[in-house]
């Protein structure tokens, strides 16, 4: 095989023995990786594409309880600081409660408010798209691309709002943390201690459970989960790799996406010894 051939041409040669099912195709792809016909990123993305074709919206949606929304009854002066802090490009707008979503507000449309123009939030709203929890991600991605929508509201079988999903959420299944060494979302344990004495913690871990295992005394009056507490310490939604130290804890973000913190690594720092008076 010529060294001048592209990786795609070499991969085509490998795939000449046609796989009979998905399992054989995955084996061929991993064989191509072992033969250095594919790098790790290419393999991860191909596997991500295959996974997306099997996943449903309910598998990746942002739950209703974690949705950042704007109430139509609030004035721009009251919700604009929230928009700036959340840093999303689109926000569902509700009337009365989260089951009554009346449209989508684009953050960029708020520039008209600062420009001194006549501003009515209702006039700025874009139509909200509603989809069922069972919709396949590959179908949703195709619809996002064809109708140029970037966000959809997910409804359950009774018509109530179950959550929301964005085009970024779908794309992250392809190019995101597909083979994350720290990803233990499928395990039942929310807190796992590694060989170095550090703790891998799911962001949804209740603060009471976190306190019980690590011996901390954080209050759960303002935040119920450790993820909410850590995000408040950052004062922004952190990205993977960001670190922060507080209350003798060093927290490193292991997994996060455009809207949520998923997993953190917590290291308990040794207290500095008290120096005796000279």
Q: Specify if 14 maps to a domain.
A: no
Euclidean distance between CA atoms 115 and 178, whole angstroms: 43
> Same domain, yes or no, for 225 and 133?
no
> Same domain, yes or no, for 48 and 82?
no
Q: What is the pLDDT of residue 181?
A: 45
Q: Specify if 5 maps to a domain.
A: no
Euclidean distance between CA atoms 212 and 218, whole angstroms: 10
> Same domain, yes or no, for 155 and 258?
no
> Same domain, yes or no, for 36 and 62?
no
Euclidean distance between CA atoms 7 and 1, whole angstroms: 11
Q: What is the pLDDT of residue 57?
A: 94
- CATH code assigned at 224: 3.30.465.10
Q: Which domain holds residue 40?
A: 21-54
Per-residue pLDDT of the chain (278 residues; tens, 9 = 90+): 455 456 666 656 555 556 667 777 778 787 877 777 777 777 777 877 887 888 899 988 888 888 889 999 999 899 999 888 777 889 999 998 888 999 999 999 998 888 777 778 999 999 999 999 999 999 999 999 898 889 999 999 888 999 999 998 888 877 764 344 444 555 567 898 887 889 999 998 999 999 999 999 999 888 889 999 999 999 888 887 789 999 999 999 888 876 678 889 999 997 654 444 54
- CATH code assigned at 98: 3.10.580.10
- Record the tokens describing residue 215, joined without a space: 């011996």
Q: What is the pLDDT of residue 182?
A: 43
End position of a domain, from candidates 175, 199, 223? 175
pTM: 0.58
Count of domains observed in the chain: 3
């Amino acid at each position: 095989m010529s060294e001048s051939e592209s990786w795609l041409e070499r991969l085509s040669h490998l795939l000449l023995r046609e796989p009979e099912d998905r399992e054989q195709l995955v084996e061929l792809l991993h064989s191509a990786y072992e033969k250095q016909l594919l790098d790790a990123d290419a393999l991860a993305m191909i596997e991500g594409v295959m996974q997306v074709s099997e996943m449903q919206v309910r598998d990746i949606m942002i739950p209703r309880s974690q949705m950042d929304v704007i109430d139509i009854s609030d004035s721009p002066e009251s919700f604009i600081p929230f928009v700036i802090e959340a840093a999303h490009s689109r926000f569902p707008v509700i009337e009365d409660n989260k089951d009554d979503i009346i449209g989508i507000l684009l953050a960029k449309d708020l520039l008209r408010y600062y420009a001194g123009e006549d501003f009515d939030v209702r006039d700025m709203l874009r139509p909200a798209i509603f989809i069922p929890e069972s919709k396949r991600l590959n179908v949703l991605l195709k619809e996002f691309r064809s109708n140029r929508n970037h966000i959809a509201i997910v409804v359950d079988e009774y018509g109530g709002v179950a959550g929301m999903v964005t085009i970024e959420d779908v794309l992250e299944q392809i190019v995101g943390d597909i083979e994350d060494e720290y990803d233990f979302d499928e395990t039942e344990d929310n807190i796992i201690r590694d060989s170095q004495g550090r703790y891998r913690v799911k962001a949804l871990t209740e603060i009471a459970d976190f306190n019980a295992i690590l011996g901390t005394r954080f209050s759960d009056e303002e935040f119920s989960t450790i993820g909410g507490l850590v995000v408040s310490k950052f004062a922004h939604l952190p990205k993977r790799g960001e670190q922060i130290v507080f209350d003798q804890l060093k927290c490193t973000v292991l997994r996060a996406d455009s809207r949520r913190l998923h997993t953190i690594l917590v290291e308990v720092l040794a207290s500095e010894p008290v120096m005796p008076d000279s």
